[in-house]
Structure 1
Amino acid sequence: MFRVFALPHYSRKVWITLAIIAAIFLWGWITSLSIREESFTWNIPEWTGTDKSISLILISDLHLSPGDESLLLKIVSICDAQQPDAVLLLGDFSSGFNGSSAMAPSVYAPLLAQCKAPVYAVLGNHDTYYGWPAIQKELEKAGIRVFNPGSTTITGKNGAVIQLGGVGDIVSRRSMVIRDGVPKRERKDMPYILMSHSHNIAPLIPDGVNLTVSGHTHGGQICLPGGRPLGDLIGKIPHNDVISGLQYIDGHPILITRGIGYSLLPIRIYCPPQIICLKLTAPSVK
C-alpha cells in the first residue's frame, strides 16, 4: 500500500519555485530554437531616381557545438528561400571559450558554403578563443571570403553595385584592427556596407560607410517583456547600452542583429534568434 506524504509548507514553496524556474528554462530553450526572419530596408542616396536594389542576409553568433549540423542546414534553407545577392556571416562561429566545446570549422564551413548566394564572413571574439587562423583557413577553403580586414564589390541581380568590406573582431583583437585599419571607401559613387562582429568598431568607421552591420550582443539573450535585457537591471551584461536593431553610434548607423546562438546558458527569453533580410534600395523604391 502506498502512503502519500504531505510536504511541509516550506517544501511546497521550494518545489513551486523550482517548477517555475524549470518552466522558464524550458520556455527559454524552446525559444532559442525558433529562428525569426525579420526584414529591414535601408535607403541608398547614391541610387536616387533608379530602381537599383541589393538584398543581403545577416547571420551572426552561431556559436556552433558538435551536432549542430541540422541547424546549419536549416539556416542554408532559409537563405536560399530568400534568394539574396549575398549572405553575410558576422562572426562567433564557435561556442565556448576554447576548442573543446565548439564544432570543428572543417565541418561547418562546407555546410555554410552550400548557400546558393556568395558567402562573406568576418570573425568574432569566440573565434579567437578557438583559433581564428584555423577557422579562416577552413572558411576560405570552402569558398567563403573572409575579411580580416578586406573588401570587395558585389553586383546585384539588377546590376546594382556596392562595396562590401569587413574587419576582424575588435573586442579581443583591437590592436590588430587598429594596426591593419578599416578598409576605406573606394569610390564616391559606389555605396559601402561594412561588416564587423561588434558595434564597438564605431570610433574607427571611416567616412563614406553607408551602413555597418554587426552582431555580438545576442540582443541581451535574457530579456524582460518588451526586450529590455535582464542584465540591464543588474549591470552585468557587456555592452548593455546597445542591444539590437538600428543604432547611431558616434554618428554612424549600425544595424545589430540578435544572432542565432547563445552564450553560457542555452536559453533565450523575450529575445528569439534572428536572421535579418536586409534590402538596400533607392529612396524612391518601396
Structure 2
Amino acid sequence: MTFNSNADVSGSGAKRRGPGGGAIAGGVGGLGAIAVILLQIFTGADFSSLLGGLGGGSTQAGPETEITECQTGADANARVDCRLAGGSKSINTYWASEVQDYREPQLIIVDGSTPTSCGTASNATGPFYCPPEETVYIDPTFFDVLEQQFGDEAGPLAQLYVLAHEYGHHIQQITGIFDRYPSNGTGPYSNGVRSELQADCFAGAWVAGAAQQKDENGVPYLQPPTDAQIDDALAAAAAVGDDHIQAQSGRVNPESWTHGSSEQRKRWFTEGLQGTWRACDTFSVGKDL
C-alpha cells in the first residue's frame, strides 16, 4: 500500500533494538535454523538445503532506542522501517475503534538479532508476536530472505500484511482467544493453524479499512490498495503456507502443519478483506477450514 506523503506517522512508539554481547549460533538464511529443525522433527524429511550460512546471535539485548526519524508518509514510502512504524499507527488506530479497551503492543524493529522471552528474534526466525511481552518483533531484512528463498518480492502491502498478521495475534491475546483455544499440537485442524488463519483474516480486515484510518490532522495514513498490491499480499500469504514450505523438500505432511496451507492462508486473508474481522471465526469452522 502507498502512504499519503503528507500523513503524520511520527510518534509511533516503535523502537529499534540490536544484538548485545554473548554470541550464540543462529541461522541467517531461508526459514531459519529453528524453523528448519522443527520441520525435520515433525516430518522426518531433510530440509537442510534450505538453510543458509550460520551467523552470530546474542544472549543479551542490545541498546533500545525509539524510532524518531520517521515523520511523514513520504518517509514510510521510502524506508521499510518507517513503513512498519507508520503501518503500526494505522493498525493501532483501526483496532482501537474495533476493540473496547484496546491496548497497543510494543513494536520492536530488530537490527540483526535480539533475545526475547519467546526466543531469539532475527530475519531467520521471521517476524513474531511474543504474548508474555505483548510485543511484535520484526527484522526488515526478513523480506529479502523471503524473496531469496521463494522468488516472491515482498512489496509494500505484503510487508504490511505480515505486520498486521502479527498484530492479529495481539488481538487474540488481549481478547482471550488464546486462552479459550490453547495449543493442542500440530495438524491441519489444530488450534495453532486456526489461530494463524484467523490472524491472516484479521490482517485482511485491516487492509479493507486501512484507507479510512486518519492521523491527528484528519489525513488518511494510506491510500486504498490497488489490485496489484492485493495480489502481492496474497502471493506473500501463499509463500508462507505450510504446504509450499514443505514442498521445497519434496514431501508435504499436513499432520505437521502449524500455519495452514497456501490456499487456506489466501482464503482467510480474502475473507477479512471482503468482510469484517468479526467474520474471522476460524475456530467454529469444521473441516471446511
Q: Which structure has more helix as a fraction of its residues?
A: 2
By relative contact order (CA 8 Å, sep 6+), the higher-ranking structure is 1
TM-score normalised over the length of structure 2 = 0.26
